[in-house]
Amino acid sequence: MMSWIRKRPWIIALLIVMGVLGIFVRQHLYRRQIWHFTSHPVTVWSEPFGHRTDSLALAKGLDGQIYGPLAFVIWHNHPIIADSYQHRIIISTHPWHIIATPELLVEDLVYMGKSLYFVDNHTLAVYRIEQGKPVKIIQIHPSPGQSEAIWHMAGDGQHLLLEGVKLGQGQYETWLRQYKPNGQLVQTLNVAKTRWNNPFEVSSHYPIGVVVRSFVVAPNRQLVIEVAGDNPYERLIQLYNVRNQLIRQTQFISPEAIVHSQLLGVNKMGWIYLGINLTEPGKALVEILTPKGRTMVMKVRSVPVGSVVYGAVEPSGSLYLLQSTAKEYCIVKWALVPSERWTWNGQVI
C-alpha cells in the first residue's frame, strides 16, 4: 500500500492540502448562537377606550395631549394596567379583577418581591397594595412656594428608586432617591438644579453626578441612567453598580433626530433597550445596544395616546411595548429567541 502511494506523490500532496484546508476551515467556520426578535409581535392585552366598566379611560392633559392609562408593569408574563383616569388598577380581565384607588391617580407601577407599589401625584405619595387596598408608605412634602412631582419609580429587588422634579421661586430641580420597601429613605443619589434657562448644576454631595433624563434597573441590580443632553442624534448611557459607582458608559446613535427618548429596560445579558420618538408618526423606534456594542433597531408603530410608561423588558429579553390606537389600548410582545447559524470569522453566512 505504501509503495503504491510513493509511486503517486500527487496523492501525498493532495492529502497535505486537504489537511491544511481542514485546519483552516475549522479555525474560521463554526456554529454560533444568534439572538433575534420574532418578526411579528403578539398582542397580549387590548381593551377599547370608552365609558363602560370593561373599557379604559382617556383624558386631556394640561399640555393638550390625550392620555390613556399612564403605566403598566409585567408580572409573571402578564401585564398589570393602571387605568389612571378611572382610579383603579386592573390585574386581570379573565375575569376582571380590579383594585380600586379612589381619588388617587396611578401614574407609575412597580412589582417588587410580592408587593405592588404605585405613585400618585394627587397626594404626592407612594402606596403599596396590602390585602387589596392601597396603603401609603412614602409621603413627599414640598417646600413652601414650590411644586413637586414624582416622575418615575423602579425597583431593584431590595429598594425602590424614585425620580422627581421640584419647581418654584425661579428654580427647577430634579432628584433621584432610594427607599426601603417600607418607605424609609435610604439615601439621595442625585440632585440637579437650574435657575431660569441657565445650565443645570449637579450637586457633588451625591453619588450620581449627571442630569438624569430617564433610568431603569437591570436584572443584576445595576442602575442604568440616560443622561440628559442636547445632541439630537445621540444619547449617553451610564451604568452604576449596587454601590452606586460608575462602572461604564456607552452611547446610542439614532438614525432619526430624537424628539423624545425613554429607557425601556435591560435584559439578563445586559442589552439596553431605548425607546425613541414613540409618539412621533413615522419616526418611532426601539434601539437595542449590547455590551459588545452591537446595535439593533426596530421600527414600531407610533402611539397617538400618551403615557408615562411606554415599554417593559423581561430578563429573558422579550419586549413589551405600548402600541395603542386612538380607539384601543394595546400592549404587544416581541419575544427574543435564539437560533444557530454558520459563521465565518464571526460573520453570519
Q: What is the DSSP string of 225-252?
A: EEEP---TTEEEEEEE-TT--EEEEEEE
Phi and psi torsions of 86, nearest 5°: -110, 10
Closest CA to 321 of 267, 253, 256, 275: 275
pLDDT digits (tens, 9 = 90+) for 109-161: 999 988 999 999 999 999 999 999 999 999 999 888 889 999 999 999 999 99
For residue 95, what pLDDT is reported?
80
How many whole angstroms separate alpha carbon 43 and alpha carbon 331? 6
Q: List beta partners, residue 212.
A: 227
Residue 93: pLDDT over 90 = no
How many whole angstroms separate alpha carbon 163 and alpha carbon 174? 7
Residue 9: pLDDT over 60 = yes
What value does the mean pLDDT of the chain take?
A: 89
Residue 16: pLDDT over 90 = no
Q: Picking from 4-13, 122-131, 162-171, 304-313, which range would have the lowest pLDDT averaged per residue? A: 4-13
pLDDT digits (tens, 9 = 90+) for 300-319: 999 999 999 999 999 999 99
pLDDT digits (tens, 9 = 90+) for 284-302: 999 999 998 899 999 999 9
Q: How many CA atoms lie within 13 A of 289 on its CB side?
A: 20
What is the pLDDT confidence band of residue 171, given thresholds at 50, 70 and 90? confident
pTM of the predicted structure, to 2 decimals: 0.87
Across 243-257, average pLDDT = 94
What is the pLDDT confidence band of residue 194, given thresholds at 50, 70 and 90? very high
Cell representation of residue 147: 411644586
Across 230-252, average pLDDT = 95
For residue 64, what pLDDT is reported?
86
**Cα→Cα distances 200→102, 196, 246, Å:** 38, 10, 20
Q: Picking from 54-63, 106-115, 211-220, 338-347, which range would have the lowest pLDDT averaged per residue? A: 338-347
pLDDT digits (tens, 9 = 90+) for 65-80: 999 999 999 998 889 9
For residue 37, what pLDDT is reported?
87
Across 23-49, average pLDDT = 76
* Percent of the chain with pLDDT strictly greater than 70: 87
What is the pLDDT confidence band of residue 15, given thresholds at 50, 70 and 90? low
Coil, strand or helix: which one is 276? strand
| Greater model confidence, 142 or 44 | 44
Residues 6+ apart with CB under 8 A from 143: 166, 168
**Cα→Cα distances 76→91, 114, 181, 281, Å:** 12, 11, 20, 32
* Percent of the chain with pLDDT strictly greater than 90: 72
Cβ-in-10-Å burial (0-12, 13-18, 19+) of 77 comes to exposed
Coil, strand or helix: which one is 142? coil
The answer to whether 298 and 256 have CB atoms below 8 angstroms apart is: no
For residue 63, what pLDDT is reported?
84
Residue 33: pLDDT over 90 = no
